Copies of this chain bind each other. A is one copy, B any other.
């Protein structure tokens, strides 16, 4: 497949949604009718750094889905409506055109599921596969958005779903854990691999959390131990999280036993789950979506102006987490 043929085939995969996109593929730039407040995030994923296309069980479609999901997750984390996505691809020589089409088709499928229009892009050669995604979200007013800086002392801290599944899935995919040797059922393997390869951006949930009275919101991309620390600093509060209260992905215990690591610590540090981390005043807790699990509480900063994360172990004692984010490969 030649370069021109590939670009044409890629464009044919894409569909504009709604009436906001006035010009798109085929001019110098896309033209979009704006809403009053624009939300923008950029993300890139590099083969060998953020994913490994050479692993058995990893497809180009997985890479496309995950890159688009990670970018859209940043819009979910602001409680914004998804709008448009712009995609850059650097393609190494050996990558077949069919794989590129599969990658973009998976992006387009997730775009369709979230009401996003892929409205432009740039395709070049490169030494390894790199996928860049710029997402644009919209809101009607600034107050409809949530940031990391809205946590207040007395708030509860919650997450929208189980943690650690993506990290465990990666350990299965990259061969650090052999499921046969540890008696891990095929269905568990498939579910954990899927948590890593096909995360879902929580766009509707982000808006529901704001409507229900959440004060701060962000997505869990680096693991709650890192991300809750960012939230604490941005809000200038101390955030206390109880390891024993973290919701663990089903099957995480068996994979962590095989890895010889503590499941709750893994859940706090492995990252890439793309659930949402929120804070809310206790009076708002009852109105929150049922998927929220409460994992901690917000305190005044012990050092005023310098917010910190405190992690508490099952024994009630402070726990220092050595881990933080597992690197791929």
Q: Which residues of A contact B (CB under 8 A)?
A: 22-23, 26-46, 48-50, 74-75, 77-78, 80, 84, 86-88, 90, 119-122, 124-128, 130, 132, 134-138, 142, 145, 147-149, 218-219, 234
Contact = CB atoms under 8 A, between A and B. Distances in A.
A149 B27 CA distance: 9
B84 A42 contact: no
Taking each of A37, A42, A46, A120, which has the highest tally of chain B beta carbons within 10 Å of its own beta carbon? Answer: A42
A205 to B, nearest CB: 14
Given A46-B124, A46-B125, A128-B127, A32 B23 contact: no
Number of copies: 2
A38 to B, nearest CB: 5
A34 B31 contact: no
A37 B40 contact: no
A34 B141 CA distance: 10
The 10 closest A-B pairs by CB, nearest first: A29-B41, A34-B34, A28-B77, A134-B134, A42-B86, A28-B74, A34-B38, A44-B88, A32-B38, A29-B74
A22 B132 CA distance: 24
B41 A120 contact: yes
Contact of A31 (B29, B43, B135, B142): B142
Contacts of A33: 36-38, 142
Contact of A29 (B22, B26, B40): B40
19 contacts: A23-B147, A26-B148, A27-B78, A27-B147, A27-B234, A29-B78, A29-B137, A30-B41, A31-B38, A31-B39, A34-B35, A34-B138, A42-B87, A42-B88, A46-B126, A49-B126, A88-B88, A126-B130, A130-B130
Given A40-B84, A45-B124, 18 more contacts: A27-B78, A27-B148, A27-B149, A27-B234, A28-B148, A29-B77, A31-B78, A32-B37, A32-B39, A34-B36, A40-B119, A42-B87, A44-B132, A46-B125, A46-B127, A50-B124, A86-B134, A132-B132
Please classify the interface of chain A as helix (H, G, I), strand (E, B), loop, or mixed, using the class held by over half of its residues: strand
A143 to B, nearest CB: 11
Contacts of A136: 38, 40, 136
A42 B234 contact: no
B28 A32 contact: no
Nearest to A47: B127
Given A34-B36, A39-B29, A41-B28, A132 B75 contact: no
Contacts of A27: 78, 147-149, 218, 234
Nearest to A31: B39
